[in-house]
Amino acid sequence: MENFDFVSFRHVELENGFWQKRYELNKAVSVKSVRDRFEDSGRFDALRFNFLKTGKRPHIFYDSDVAKWIEAVAYLMEHDRKAMHEHEALIDELVTCMAAAQREDGYLNSFHQQIEPQNIFQKRGNHELYCCGHLVEAAIAYDKATGKRALLDVMERYLDCIEKAFITEKTAAFVTPGHEELELALYKLYRHTGNEKYRNMAEFFLTNRGKVIEDTVYADALKGCQDDVDIYHLREANGHSVRALYLYSGIADMALENGDKALKAALDSVWNDMTSGKMYITGGVGSTYRTESFTVPFDLPNHTAYAESCCAIAFILFALRMRRFKRDAKYGHLIERVLYNALLSSTSLDGRSFFYVNPLEIALEEYGRETAVPLKNRERLPKTARQEVFSCSCCPPNINRMLASLGDVICFDEEHAVIEQYISATVHSTFGDIRVAESYAISGKVTVSSKAYTADKITLRLPEWNRGHTAKMNGKPIYGTEKDGYITFEVPCDFTLEIDFAIAPRFVASNPCVRANAGRVALTYGPVVYCLEGVDNGPRLNRISVSPDAVRDAVLAPDFHGLLSIRLPGKRDCDCTQLYFDAQAANTSPVQLKFIPYFAFANRGESDMLVWVRRD
Amino acid sequence: MENFDFVSFRHVELENGFWQKRYELNKAVSVKSVRDRFEDSGRFDALRFNFLKTGKRPHIFYDSDVAKWIEAVAYLMEHDRKAMHEHEALIDELVTCMAAAQREDGYLNSFHQQIEPQNIFQKRGNHELYCCGHLVEAAIAYDKATGKRALLDVMERYLDCIEKAFITEKTAAFVTPGHEELELALYKLYRHTGNEKYRNMAEFFLTNRGKVIEDTVYADALKGCQDDVDIYHLREANGHSVRALYLYSGIADMALENGDKALKAALDSVWNDMTSGKMYITGGVGSTYRTESFTVPFDLPNHTAYAESCCAIAFILFALRMRRFKRDAKYGHLIERVLYNALLSSTSLDGRSFFYVNPLEIALEEYGRETAVPLKNRERLPKTARQEVFSCSCCPPNINRMLASLGDVICFDEEHAVIEQYISATVHSTFGDIRVAESYAISGKVTVSSKAYTADKITLRLPEWNRGHTAKMNGKPIYGTEKDGYITFEVPCDFTLEIDFAIAPRFVASNPCVRANAGRVALTYGPVVYCLEGVDNGPRLNRISVSPDAVRDAVLAPDFHGLLSIRLPGKRDCDCTQLYFDAQAANTSPVQLKFIPYFAFANRGESDMLVWVRRD
């Protein structure tokens, strides 16, 4: 069991390419858009502790929404503090308000102090520890970016208060958080400050899970809140999926700190459970809106897929920690799958609006059903358009902070550099500056180079979709050594390594146990999952079928926003007037289909959408 | 616009065959079973007006449950009063209690008198007029069967009270019933008594629909309670499906009485709307449990199909009325479709238990999802086993009365006899006794004969599934004249007409707009829809695919309960360990499939079930 570390985004400069474009859009548009909507909706006022003036009522987790936005801004400041000037002023104002509002005993929560002081540490479902965790992460990020310690001081005082209420004096009405997050934040703070108290607190909250016999809030749902089993006996991913992934990340931090192999084995089981049966092809997880939960293996409905955007982020955080234990390409594969699909789909191409829920099918005719029933009886179908803000708006600032720290996923420093993700950037690794230049998702080509590399090897992750590649070192063909999904090359001090992965449109099938995808295929192109949209292919996309062989006739071309669309032949069931008729009489007509990247759906108005197309 | 009439079940003796078996099971087992469960659950006590002694709380529509059971018993008494002796004693007891409990002003409702007297005629959703309607039907049936008028007297007094509250003095808080049913009952009473008051009351309740501007109970759902449009402007089937079908039946009665062509045209539109896009292949309608409603055309999900058993019955009642306007085979086709599928599936093969909801797919793994979420957040998936009684137990006694009066559907008396349904029986028609002997759903053979027939022609409905037939008159080949889906033969006074319809297994496809059935086919054999069950074919039935051509290799054989099962070759997706993989690598293995009649599913324990199988 290793304890590798990735090169922090702080030492990575993104460069011109697919991902830098997203990074800049996040910085210039999304972070600003979230700030505006948070100002409108009273989220900042909540932390100004002046909600009474505004007449708006804070939500129980407004603090965490703002915290994630602060964290995003702090990350962006690391590379361009000047551009964040106005945001920095707002953050300083908020920190001043928080410091002033913090209670004598250290307690700090905008909702409970202003609305429900009688419920402080009384209701497990009230997200106080979750809010604290996100504020701790924000405080660390802000301290690192600016050297301003005020927020960190506030949070350390609050943690003293929490330690007293939960551990020393046990005056709190519950033992562990209803919504996990604080655990991983405490490990981060431990690493930032070196103060062992925070590690101990994290261990307390982790090792006391699964021991609650009776719980007033979640009495019928111990599994739902990850309290059915202690962390050493975790085998399956269960319950609220974002909470679960934050918990697993905290457990991974614990195992990374203490080297506990039993914990690592438990996490391996959970990882396998998720990736072998509970994950959409997009990398989305948590398939039901009912308590936003994981369900049973292979239960992956497409039109009611939940796949919350926060899960995409939390899954990357967990995978990045799992990668630290072992150089195994499956973790990088997962991160790539999530980045290009479940994460990107969350944000509109103009950067202004977001999905909370990321369905894999939209059948507008299904929404018509709803007009037949009274409002209170309506089904909870996913939204068909992205929104600027939600009443529960956890996802947008989470997307902000993930894209702001995207550099984290690119390179690991091991006995030599290991390139995990192909994102154009200069990485300031332990072994010298490494430049990655790519048109990975377009042509499959990547160039990795260094002018002054101090190790004698470099390792690259082979993409999961790769079916053959060629490589050149300083212009000459070279063959590397493959192991565990990686390829290692011997390199001189000054090298340019060009690698060309065989990218092509390919149809993918599902495990036959996935009922929703039975007899269906999904088109992929390298890391990108494709979909059909009604705007290109007409409504009622389930009338369409396609043969996997049709990729032979695929035509790729740049389309809206410069994205690559794929056209290929398919069939469409012919119109008929009868409701039921002899199957022998069923007819199809040939059609030219146009697929677009899944992440780009719902950017041209409300439309039908389908990832899993009937196999012909 | 004609006004034909069917030969009443009172003049029909069922004979040895498929349907007599069901009739006898209903009489010997189901009616008794419903009685026992109604006694246990306090339904009879409610009408004994002694619920206070039992400590059970009546439901708002217990009266209608008991009424339908009384109606069923009365129908059975027409042919075998002796066998109903004990039930008759109970009914007499109940009538005595009701007469004693009836208020001075005529009001009679066990729930409102005992539990909510303050809400009498105050809440439209409280089903008072619906309960009254069923009691009126019961009273008529009991009067006809026994000559005992006591219940009819009680109901006539109650109707005086209703007329006063709703029409004369308008003291009721609403105008028309929240749950329609009284309208058709009033027409029945008008025909039974000749008293025009009842026809006028029915017209009042029908013509005042669609005029409610504001409604306290259903303000957001005028469509849901059929109050969005007046009856002359009805075009689509909308809202609660049982209520809708009772309403349409009442409107048909009105048009049959007054010959109003505009009303008939409205009903034609509604009929087309239902049968061209809102009807399951089983004849079930009302596709969502959300307010038990019709939804939009082609929205026919299988695993969450509602298709309430009461709808099967109400659809037959409506179709029988529509048939009275015109000799058009589509009405008989519909009745046949419902009888052999949506109606029969409602009852277990032992006659003891019932489905309220009749899904077309059971995927047990979907039910596993539910364990992941707290009870209150669980999805409303259909029950996987029939039950003896429900808290809302409208269906079982409705099934009782439908099977008890099954003879109604067999023959119409027009210028000569028209055989609509092939059910072994002797029909005492206007034109003499006609004997129908059939093994219709087994061999496609029917014999229609008479010893002393007084007309010179006889007409038979050609089955919707018929693709050629041969006929013999008194042993010699004969050719009839076909028109509007019927065939007419010239017959002597003493004749034996043997007709042999070409019955064979056949796969049926859906209109491509039905998203749930895209790329799928259903096996039929004559009038019977078939399904796969997990108990025969293993779990996860969506792994199976079949070619419509496989019917060439079909083997039919008697199976459990003597039912015909059909074996034919199909394919099954092979196991694999990956969640997603190259579609070219997907494999199938040949399997021998066993299909059973849909109506017989869930008679051998809990099992997966599938009607619409993937087309290979």
Indicate yes or no: CB of B510 within 8 angstroms of CB of A579: yes
Distance, CA of A542 to CA of B382 (rounded, Å): 25
pLDDT score for A594: 98
Structure-token pair, residue A138: 């924000």
Burial B42-73 (b: 16+ CB within 10 A, else e): bbbbbbbbebeeeeeebbbbbbbbbbbbbbbb
What average pLDDT does range A585-595 have in this prediction? 97
Which one-letter DSSP state was computed for residue B102?
S
Query: Which residue is associated with the tokens 């069991």?
Result: A1
Is the pLDDT confidence value at A477 over 80? yes
What average pLDDT does range B1-19 have in this prediction? 95
Is the pLDDT confidence value at B114 over 60? yes
What average pLDDT does range B336-352 have in this prediction? 98
pLDDT score for B555: 98
Structure-token pair, residue B199: 């026809």
3 state SS of A368: helix
Q: How far is A167 from chain B (nearest CA, A)?
A: 29
Report the residue from B522, B578, B582 with minimal CB separation from A511.
B578
Q: What is the identity of the amino acid at A263?
A: L
Q: Phi/psi zone of residue A595: left (φ > 0), alpha (ψ -120 to 50 degrees), beta?
A: beta
In this prediction the ipTM stands at 0.96
Q: How far is A517 from chain B (nearest CA, A)?
A: 9
Distance, CA of B557 to CA of B552 (rounded, Å): 15
Mind listing the pLDDT tens digit for each residue in B74-101? 999 999 999 999 999 999 999 999 999 9
Q: Which residues of A touch B218 (CB under 8 A)?
A: 374
pLDDT score for B290: 87
Is the pLDDT confidence value at A370 over 90? no
Structural element, H or E, at residue B544: strand B544-546
Is the pLDDT confidence value at A54 over 50? yes
Distance, CA of A178 to CA of A319 (rounded, Å): 23
Mind listing the pLDDT tens digit for each residue in B408-419? 999 999 999 999
Is the pLDDT confidence value at A444 over 80? yes
Q: Which residues of A touch B296 (CB under 8 A)?
A: 365, 368-369, 371-372
What average pLDDT does range B282-299 have in this prediction? 94
Cβ B222 vs Cβ B234: under 8 Å:
no
Query: Which residue is associated with the tokens 């607190």?
Result: A201
Mind listing the pLDDT tens digit for each residue in A494-503? 999 999 999 9
Is the pLDDT confidence value at B213 over 70? no
Indicate yes or no: CB of A372 within 8 angstroms of CB of B295: yes
Q: Which residues of A touch B518 (CB under 8 A)?
A: 542-543, 573, 614
State which residue of chain B sits closest to A582, comparing Cα positions.
Answer: B508
Mind listing the pLDDT tens digit for each residue in B531-562? 999 999 999 999 999 999 999 999 999 999 99
Share of chain A above pLDDT 90, in %: 91
Mind listing the pLDDT tens digit for each residue in B222-261? 777 888 899 999 999 999 999 999 999 999 999 999 999 9
Is the pLDDT confidence value at A417 over 70? yes
Mind listing the pLDDT tens digit for each residue in A181-199? 999 999 999 999 999 999 9
Q: What is the per-residue DSSP string for B128-184?
A: HHHHHHHHHHHHHHHHHHH---HHHHHHHHHHHHHIIIIIIS--SS-SS-SS--HHH
State which residue of chain B sits closest to A573, comparing Cα positions.
Answer: B512
Distance, CA of A573 to CA of A323 (rounded, Å): 46
pLDDT class for B214, splitting at 50, 70, 90? Answer: low
Q: What are phi and psi of B602, to 5 degrees?
A: 60, 35
Q: Which residues of A touch B513 (CB under 8 A)?
A: 365, 540, 543
Q: How far is A516 from chain B (nearest CA, A)?
A: 9
Mind listing the pLDDT tens digit for each residue in A122-174? 999 999 999 999 999 999 999 999 999 999 999 999 999 999 999 999 999 99
Q: Which residues of B touch A298 (CB under 8 A)?
A: 365
Share of chain B above pLDDT 70, in %: 98
Structure-token pair, residue A69: 């936005």
Indicate yes or no: CB of A372 within 8 angstroms of CB of B238: yes
pLDDT score for A219: 46
Is the pLDDT confidence value at A218 over 90? no
pLDDT class for B221, splitting at 50, 70, 90? Answer: low
pLDDT score for A524: 98
pLDDT score for A56: 75
Indicate yes or no: CB of B580 within 8 angstroms of CB of A510: yes
For the four alpha carbons of A168, A169, A170 and A173, in that order, the dihedral sign comes to negative
What average pLDDT does range A50-57 have in this prediction? 74
Cβ B595 vs Cβ B610: under 8 Å:
no
pLDDT class for B59, splitting at 50, 70, 90? Answer: confident
pTM of the model: 0.96
Mind listing the pLDDT tens digit for each residue in A273-300? 999 999 999 999 999 988 899 999 999 9
pLDDT class for A270, splitting at 50, 70, 90? Answer: very high
pLDDT score for A61: 95
Query: Which residue is associated with the tokens 């799992």?
Result: A322
Q: Which residues of B touch A579 (CB under 8 A)?
A: 275-277, 279, 510-511, 514
pLDDT score for B212: 63
pLDDT score for A390: 81
| Alpha-carbon dihedral angle through residues B216, B217, B219, B223, given to the nearest 10 degrees | -140
Indicate yes or no: CB of A548 within 8 angstroms of CB of B368: no
Q: Which residues of A touch B277 (CB under 8 A)?
A: 579
pLDDT score for A212: 62
Structural element, H or E, at residue A5: strand A5-6
Report the residue from B277, B369, B540 with minimal CB separation from A513.
B540
Structural domain boundaries in chain A: 41-208, 220-242+262-407, 412-501, 505-615
3 state SS of A558: strand
| Whole-number average pLDDT of chain A | 95
Burial A150-170 (b: 16+ CB within 10 A, else e): bbbebbbbbbebbbebbbeee
Is the pLDDT confidence value at A220 over 60? no
Mind listing the pLDDT tens digit for each residue in B555-596? 999 999 999 999 999 999 999 999 999 999 999 999 999 999
pLDDT score for B219: 46
Cβ B159 vs Cβ B211: under 8 Å:
no
What average pLDDT does range B176-190 have in this prediction? 97
> Which residue of B293, B577, B580 is the best one to mutate when testing the A interface, meaning the one whose CB has the most A CBs within 10 A?
B580
pLDDT score for A221: 60
pLDDT score for B338: 98
Report the residue from A372, A577, A579 with minimal CB separation from B279.
A579
What average pLDDT does range B328-337 have in this prediction? 98
Distance, CA of A456 to CA of A605 (rounded, Å): 52
* CATH code assigned to A412-501: 2.60.40
